[in-house]
Structure 1
């Protein structure tokens, strides 16, 4: 039989080691009580740790998509508001055109409003959100359109003035413009103006936007187009109509030549308004799909969160009971350690 050496130092050391262990357990239990989660998830879950990691990765992916959908929704809302403004200004001008097209002073009324509409349209096409141009397609870092009237005058204005001089021998605001016949104006529009609003003229003189719209992943399996671009037909038609009414010398033209411009503009604006409505409908469908996808993803997030909670979270009542028990144990250990330190033969000699 073997006996162990017993001393006050040995008992004190054993008590101190027990106290250190209890303090470590108390710190871990206190952390679990405050966080509601196991202090060492891997140690607690063991083989199920991989499941927890996979669930958290899926939660992070879903959270990222939901956040992205919020940005996409904001972009679509802003674009819809911009298109409503485009539709409203076009409708106002169309009403004026129909009302005054037979009047002798139509150009004096229409030209300033058309110039303002052109400026407004360019501003709308150049709208940006969070540093990205909304109507630039995938070229989100480039302003889609240049101001027509400048300063300095845009490449489009310079080109149109040059073509006008080549065709008629003078600028649009020259009094000689009164000699231009309706047939000559119609031919000029068809052969010299219209090509500037078709490819490649549109891209050369008017737009820096891409024909490819932005696409966004709105769920784990859905990717949709979530933008429009300045190259779409209604914006070309409105730009052409506004430019003709404001920049082809309306006040200096004969009534017949100017009526030719007005008739063309009425057709362009009326058709463009219908096409803008189509663009709005397309973006509206995208808005609905983004909202529905976010709702579905939110449900998935809630389900996964509950699964992670079931795996990783501690019972708060059990954690509180354990903390109280460990605190009591530590207090007893402190008391015992203090009493053992007082045990010395010197006190009895």
Structure 2
């Protein structure tokens, strides 16, 4: 008598059916999400690379944001520095006049322009106060107040520390200048002019006296030197702007590279995913038919 046993075949067919169902489910997930898996397990041995790349991407985003903020501040600072330079240029022009009647009015206007530039704010913070960005860097608002100070250094109340920002792994940039560093010389000129005007050889008259002309000529040299120094600061600010802009673009390029690398590892090819899905469907269908046929096997089929 022939012994007919289907138990082993049925068990094998059931395992094939379960594997086919799992393959179809995974292929369907890949096709719908475009990803190889819902977590790092889906990328296997490349999980460590993905984790490191995501950390680097987060860091690049932070550096880019820092560069954007720094660039905005440096742009505003450039405007303020140019206003300061223009005010000193007006002072220089006033000091070349031989008419003493209106010279102090022009000098006063120049002084106000310089003070306003030095007290400029960006997003509510004083740009030239160093780390004391909640405090006006200039303590004086008039030439009379400046002339009354024992020394010109008393006109400043900024901190001694310039604010810096990290825009790359190994790069920190100075994003703020100190009022005392850039304006001590020009404020010293304003102070000497105000003291002269209030002293025994003042006020300025038209025509100027010989003493007044000699004073103006001598002080003009100091003003020219102070203006050149401020123009140099404007130039250095421009260098910083270019550096920050370059860093911002570098961080953007780094992000694009990392995003691309992560996508290459995590994402599935749509065409390949569709093919795998169709194949998995076909395999499941065959496995289901095989299992169904085995579970319907009976001795009656052989005794008929």
Question: TM-score, structure 1 length as denominator?
Answer: 0.63
Counterpart of 1:241 (choices 162, 168, 189) is 189
Counterpart of 1:116 (choices 109, 118, 129) is 109
Query: Does the Cα contact within 8 Å between 1:242 and 1:265 map onto a contact in 2?
Result: no
> How far 1:230 moved relative to its partner?
0.1
- Are positions 1:217 and 2:172 aligned together? no
> How far 1:278 moved relative to its partner?
1.8
SS in 1 for 2:115: helix
1:128: which partner in 2? 121
Change beyond 3 A, Cα 1:121–1:325:
farther
- Are positions 1:262 and 2:216 aligned together? yes
Q: CA RMSD in A?
A: 3.6
1:281: which partner in 2? 235
Change beyond 3 A, Cα 1:307–1:157:
same
Matched length: 265
2:151: which partner in 1? 196
> How far 1:40 moved relative to its partner?
1.2
Name stretches of at least 5 consecutive residues in structure 1 with no aligned partner: 5-16, 150-155, 162-192, 333-349
Change beyond 3 A, Cα 1:317–1:132:
farther
Alignment partners' CA distance in 1, 2:37 and 2:64: 29
> How far 1:319 moved relative to its partner?
3.8
Alignment partners' CA distance in 2, 1:61 and 1:275: 37
> How far 1:53 moved relative to its partner?
0.9
Query: Does the Cα contact within 8 Å between 1:69 and 1:294 map onto a contact in 2?
Result: yes
Alignment partners' CA distance in 1, 2:278 and 2:122: 54
> How far 1:118 moved relative to its partner?
1.6
Alignment partners' CA distance in 2, 1:88 and 1:160: 22
2:63: which partner in 1? 65
Query: Does the Cα contact within 8 Å between 1:227 and 1:283 map onto a contact in 2?
Result: no
Alignment partners' CA distance in 1, 2:46 and 2:23: 27
SS in 1 for 2:116: helix
Moved more, 64-73 or 140-149: 140-149
Counterpart of 1:82 (choices 80, 86, 100) is 80
Query: Does the Cα contact within 8 Å between 2:112 and 2:141 map onto a contact in 1?
Result: yes
Change beyond 3 A, Cα 1:157–1:75:
same
Alignment partners' CA distance in 1, 2:203 and 2:89: 26
SS in 2 for 1:144: coil
Change beyond 3 A, Cα 1:311–1:302:
same
Query: Does the Cα contact within 8 Å between 1:122 and 1:146 map onto a contact in 2?
Result: no
CA-to-partner distance for each residue in 1:193-230, whole Å, 9 max, x for gaps?
Answer: 6x512xxxx2x4x2221232222222212223232110
2:132: which partner in 1? 139
CA-to-partner distance for each residue in 1:282-315, whole Å, 9 max, x for gaps?
Answer: 2222223223333333333232222111111121
SS in 2 for 1:212: coil
Question: TM-score, structure 2 length as denominator?
Answer: 0.72
Alignment partners' CA distance in 2, 1:129 and 1:230: 15
CA-to-partner distance for each residue in 1:3-46, whole Å, 9 max, x for gaps?
Answer: 99xxxxxxxxxxxx99x98997687346414xxx3441322113
2:48: which partner in 1? 50
Query: Does the Cα contact within 8 Å between 2:64 and 2:251 map onto a contact in 1?
Result: yes
- Are positions 1:295 and 2:249 aligned together? yes
Name stretches of at least 5 consecutive residues in structure 2 with no aligned partner: 8-17, 286-304
Change beyond 3 A, Cα 1:211–1:258:
farther
Q: How does 1:102-113 map to 2 (within 5 A)?
A: 103=99, 106=100, 108-113=101-106
1:167: which partner in 2? none
